[in-house]
C-alpha cells in the first residue's frame, strides 16, 4: 500500500479562508516517476478515489486528492455540504483547484505533473489549465462533456436564484438533475434515478450508502457547477490552453454527461483545432458515467497509468 498523509491546505479567496482537506499518496520503496492531482465530481468526495489513488501510487506516481468546497471533509458541517460560497462559487472552485495544484506540484518540483478531473472535476480542470496549464505535462478528463444549448442562459438563471435564495436546496432541481440524466435508463430497476451513474449496480448502491455522497445541492452549488461547466466548454475554452499539453479523454459510451460520446468527440475536436497534437480519446461501450467505479475499473486504471507512463 502507498504511504498516506492527510492534511488541510489554506486557500485565501476574497474575504474568506477555506481549509481544503487533502490526502497525499506516496509510493513506498519505489522511485517516483511523476505526480497526479485528482479532482472529484459533484455531490461526492475524494475518498471515493482511494483505490485508484493507491493503484497509481503503487505504480510509482505521487498522488493528491482533495475535497472541493461544499464537499466531503472540506465542508466544516452539514450546512456547508452542498453549499460553496455566496458571492462567486465558480471562481472559488477554480481558485482552489489552482491552489491545490500549485501546492502539490511544489512538493515534487523534480517530477512531471499530471492533472485528472472527473465530471465536475473535469470542468474545473479545464479552467485550471487555462490559467496554469504550463505546470502540467498531461491532462486526463474522465466523464466530461461539451457545451450544451442554453448553457449560458441556465447559468444566468442560476445566478439570479443564487442572489435571492443561495442556501435553498430545491428538491425539484435536485430530483430533476437525476431524472434528466436517468432518462435513457428509467425503465430499468430504479436506484433513485442513479442508473446513469454506472452500469455497476454495486457502485450505485455504494453511492447511496455513502453519507458524504448524494448530498442535495443548494442553488449556490448548482450555480457554481454551471459556471465552471460553461467556462470550461464555451466555444473558445481552450484558447489559453498550452498547445504542448497532452490529453486523454475517456468516458462511457452511455454517459449522459458526455452526450453519449458526442460531447467527448466535440471536446477532442476543440483541442485539435487549438493545435494540441497529442489528444487521445476512448469511449467504453455500454458503460456509463463513473468509469473509475465500473466492474472494468482495473482496465481503466491501467489505461490511464499506461498513458501517463508513456509521457513521463
CATH number for position 246: 3.40.50.1820
In the predicted structure, residue 148 carries a pLDDT above the cut 80: no
Phi, psi dihedrals of residue 147, rounded to the nearest 5°: -65, 145
Residue among 231, 103, 82 at smallest CA distance from 170: 82
In the predicted structure, residue 250 carries a pLDDT above the cut 80: yes
Alpha-carbon torsion, ordered 145, 151, 154, 160, to 10 deg: 100
In the predicted structure, residue 152 carries a pLDDT above the cut 80: no
| 23, 46 Cβ separation under 8 angstroms | yes
Give the count of beta carbons closer than 10 Å to the beta carbon of residue 114. 25
**85-139: pLDDT as tens digits:** 999 999 999 999 999 999 999 999 999 999 999 999 999 999 999 999 999 999 9
Residue 163 to residues 79, 80, 85, 159, 304: CA-CA distances in angstroms? 18, 17, 11, 6, 41
In the predicted structure, residue 190 carries a pLDDT above the cut 90: no
List 143's β-bridge partners, or say none. Answer: none
Query: Does residue 110 sit in helix, strand or coil?
Result: coil
Strand ranges for the chain from DSSP E: 3-13, 16-26, 34-39, 61-66, 113-118, 138-142, 246-252, 279-284
Q: What's the whole-number mean pLDDT along residues 27-46?
A: 96
Question: How many structural domains does the chain have?
Answer: 1
Range of the domain at 231: 3-309
**198-244: pLDDT as tens digits:** 999 999 999 999 999 999 999 999 999 999 999 999 999 999 999 99
**61-84: pLDDT as tens digits:** 999 999 999 999 999 999 999 999
Q: 292-297: which pairs have CB atoms within 8 A and are 24 or more residues apart?
A: 292/49, 292/52, 292/118, 292/142, 293/48, 293/198, 293/200, 293/203, 293/206, 294/198, 294/199, 294/200, 294/203, 294/252, 295/199, 295/200, 295/202, 297/51, 297/52
Q: What's the whole-number mean pLDDT along residues 12-24?
A: 96
Least confident segment among 14-23, 154-163, 189-198? 154-163
The whole-chain average pLDDT of the chain stands at 96
Residue with cell 434515478: 193
Q: Which pTM was predicted?
A: 0.97
% of residues, the chain, pLDDT over 90: 94
In the predicted structure, residue 151 carries a pLDDT above the cut 80: no
Amino acid at each position: 500500500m502507498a504511504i498516506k498523509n492527510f492534511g488541510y491546505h489554506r486557500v485565501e479567496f476574497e474575504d474568506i479562508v477555506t481549509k481544503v482537506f487533502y490526502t497525499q499518496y506516496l509510493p513506498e520503496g519505489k522511485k517516483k516517476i511523476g505526480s497526479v492531482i485528482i479532482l472529484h465530481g459533484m455531490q461526492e468526495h475524494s475518498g471515493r478515489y482511494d483505490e485508484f489513488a493507491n493503484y497509481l501510487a503503487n505504480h510509482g506516481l505521487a498522488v493528491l486528492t482533495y475535497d472541493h468546497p461544499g464537499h466531503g471533509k472540506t465542508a466544516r458541517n452539514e450546512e456547508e455540504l452542498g453549499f460553496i460560497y455566496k458571492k462567486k462559487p465558480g471562481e472559488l472552485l477554480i481558485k482552489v483547484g489552482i491552489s491545490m495544484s500549485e501546492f502539490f506540484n511544489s512538493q515534487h518540483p523534480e517530477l512531471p505533473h499530471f492533472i485528472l478531473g472527473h465530471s465536475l472535476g473535469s470542468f474545473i480542470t479545464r479552467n485550471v489549465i487555462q490559467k496554469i496549464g504550463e505546470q502540467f505535462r498531461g491532462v486526463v478528463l474522465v466523464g466530461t462533456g461539451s457545451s450544451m444549448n442554453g448553457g449560458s442562459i441556465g447559468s444566468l438563471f442560476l445566478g439570479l436564484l443564487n442572489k435571492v435564495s443561495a442556501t435553498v436546496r430545491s428538491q425539484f432541481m435536485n430530483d430533476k438533475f437525476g431524472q434528466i440524466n436517468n432518462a435513457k435508463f428509467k425503465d430499468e430497476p430504479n436506484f433513485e434515478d442513479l442508473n446513469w451513474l454506472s452500469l455497476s449496480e454495486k457502485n450505485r448502491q455504494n453511492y447511496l450508502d455513502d453519507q458524504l455522497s448524494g448530498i442535495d445541492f443548494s442553488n449556490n452549488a448548482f450555480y457554481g457547477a454551471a459556471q465552471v461547466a460553461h467556462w470550461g466548454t464555451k466555444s473558445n475554452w481552450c484558447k489559453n490552453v498550452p498547445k504542448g499539453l497532452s490529453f486523454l479523454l475517456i468516458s462511457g459510451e452511455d454517459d449522459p454527461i458526455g452526450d453519449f460520446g458526442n460531447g467527448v468527440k466535440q471536446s477532442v475536436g476543440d483541442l485539435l483545432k487549438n493545435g494540441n497534437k497529442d489528444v487521445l480519446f476512448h469511449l467504453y461501450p455500454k458503460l456509463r458515467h463513473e468509469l473509475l467505479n465500473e466492474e472494468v475499473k482495473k482496465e481503466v486504471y491501467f489505461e490511464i497509468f499506461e498513458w501517463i507512463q508513456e509521457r513521463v
